[in-house]
Amino acid sequence: MTDIDDVSKQEKTEENEPQTMEQMGDLLESNLNIDFPKAGEIRDGIIASIGENQILVSVGAKSEGIISGKEYESIPADILATLTVGQAIPVYVVTPEDQNGNLVLSFIRAVEEQSWLDAEAMKSSGESFESEIVGYNKGGLLVPFSTIRGFVPASQLSLTRRSEISGETPEEKYRAMIGEKIQCCIIEVDRERHRLILSERAASTETRDMVREKILDNLKEGDVRTGRVTSLADFGAFVNIGGADGLVHVSEISYDRITHPSEALKVGDEVKVKVISVDKERRRIGLSIRQLQNDPWSSQVNALKVGQLVEGEITRLTNFGAFAKLNIPGDMEGLIHISELSDKRVEHPKEILKVGDKVTLRILRIEEENHRIGLSMRRVDSAQYADQDWKSLAQDLDVVGSSSGETLGDIVGNIPQEPADENSAPETPETEKPEA
């Protein structure tokens, strides 16, 4: 009985063995045909279901992958609302199998990764794309490309846009540009550093002549712009204001006396300038730096008045007169016209003066608008100003006397008088004689 049972079992085993082998072969072939996902790759998937906090996506594996947790939360609400069952979407394989055996996927990382691939392809092709300015920082503008954000340095803005920049802070320079359309090329892609550099200038077809014409058409006297010093010459400095060069004459650089622009500026300096002239026919722009500075001359000249006597030092001699530096706070000079040097005829100031001479001068004119002071040597002792000189002296004496409590009257009253002759008798009135 036992032998018969053993034979029966053996026959059954032999009958089942080929079927089991066939099943194993089919299973092996089936497994070989499965394209198992690999971490970091991007796949095309079909949404199988959308739950409250997760999305199941079929990617051709033996089971659906799952988008959940932070990968689900990273999907913007407006994009999430457009997703539907059966829709094809790209997914990024985060991990082929987590601790729970799930295939973990990410939709946003797939889109972002695809954006980097598209950026690299566009950089290689040299093509441009249109986008919108969404932000800024101190160095330039922020512009999105697909799902990643690119940066346009200020140096890569178009000449026209640079010409429109004004102000010192990033807010003043770029805030008004937010929302504007911009055409850009991609000039640098660095996925590891998450760095995408764009250039509007590379995508622009404008020429410098076109930009200069546009600037000249829009520029007007009184405008204040920020520019950069491009070159220096003996007669002044050239400053680029957004694509067009203007000249700052050496006299318009500073209120301090300078003989060469290099004393105050160097190439590459960023400066604020005021437009003082625009010659469209000759295509010339006149600029000033000093007119945006506080004018020390105005405060210094408040201490002076016409007719006042001042001390000065001769600094220059010319055919028409002599210049003198006044001995007052500040570096102020005035002109002694040749006609005001002497009552006698003078052919040239060198006949009576030399550089370095210390002289007393009288102020004849103060021209605040032209920053000119007219001086005179020959009128120092002029009777015309005698009363003014006396009042000035009186004020000086009062100041001196105030330290000791004395007034001008006391000082004058205390001046010693010449003593009377002791042999002379005081004069008395004649006594009226009585009648006889």
Does the residue 33 lie in any domain? no
pLDDT of residue 147: 85
Last residue of a domain, one of 258, 292, 326: 292
Strands 65-68 and 103-106: parallel
Mean pLDDT by 10 residues, the chain (436 residues): 51 50 50 70 91 90 85 88 92 89 90 90 92 94 93 89 80 92 94 92 76 80 90 93 87 87 92 91 90 81 86 93 87 90 92 94 87 90 69 59 52 44 40 40
Tell me which residue of 240, 208, 218, 216 sits closest to 227, measured CA to CA: 240
Burial of 160 (0-12, 13-18, 19+ CB in 10 A): middle
Phi, psi at 281, each rounded to 5°: -65, -45
For residue 144, give the H/E element and its range: strand 140-145
Q: What proportions of the chain, in percent to the nearest 5, are helix, strand and coil?
A: 30, 30, 40
- Answer yes or no: do 242 and 277 share one domain: yes
CA distances from 331 to 32, 256, 299, 300, 361 (A): 94, 8, 12, 9, 16
| Contact status, residue 206 vs residue 223, Cβ threshold 8 Å | no
Residue 9 lies in a domain: no
| Full domain range(s) for residue 272 | 219-292
Which tokens is 330 given?
A: 């500040």
Q: Does 94 lie in the same domain as 71?
A: yes
Domain closes at, from 83, 112, 141: 112
Give the N- to C-terminal CA distance of the chain in Å, as an integer: 212
Q: What is residue 376's predicted lDDT score, i.e. its pLDDT?
A: 93
Residues 97 and 140 in one domain: no
CB 105 within 8 A of CB 57: yes
Query: 48 and 107: one domain?
Result: yes
Domain assignment present for residue 205? The answer is: no
Whether residue 2 lies inside any domain: the answer is no
CB 290 within 8 A of CB 255: yes
Which of residues 240, 268, 292 is at a domain's end? 292
Tokens representing 156 are 């890569």
The alpha-helical segments, DSSP class H, found in 40-165 are 69-73, 77-80, 107-125, 159-163
Domain membership of residue 34 (yes or no) is: no
| Residue 263 domain flag | yes
Tokens standing for 399? 């100041």
Q: Quick one: pLDDT at residue 398?
A: 56
Contacts by 353-356, CB closer than 8 A, 24 or more apart: 353/314, 353/317, 353/322, 354/314, 354/317, 355/314, 355/315, 355/316, 355/317, 356/313, 356/314
To which residue do tokens 């006044």 refer? 326
Taking the alpha carbons of 145, 151, 156, 159 in that order, is the dihedral positive or negative? positive
Same domain, 271 and 338: no
Q: How many domains in the chain? A: 4
Whether 107 and 130 map to the same domain: the answer is: no
| 288 and 326 assigned to the same domain | no
179 and 227 assigned to the same domain: no
The answer to whether residues 170 and 183 touch, using CB atoms and an 8 Å cutoff, is no
Task: Specify whether 382 is located in the same domain as 348.
Answer: yes
- Spatial separation of the C-alpha atoms in residues 244 and 286, rounded to whole Å: 11
> Rounded to 5 degrees, what angle do the CA atoms 82, 38, 48 make?
30
Which segments of 333-425 are extended strands (E)? 333-337, 358-367, 372-376
**Which of 206, 225, 202, 223 has the alpha carbon at shortest distance from 214?**
206
Provide the token pair at 26. Answer: 């089919």
Q: Which two tokens stand for residue 287?
A: 């600029």
Question: Is there a single domain that holds both residue 108 and residue 146?
Answer: no
Whether residues 365 and 300 fall in one domain: yes
CATH for 235: 2.40.50.140
Say if residue 176 is exposed, middle or buried (CB neighbours under 10 Å; 0-12, 13-18, 19+).
Answer: middle
Claim to verify: residue 103 and residue 147 sit in the same structural domain = no
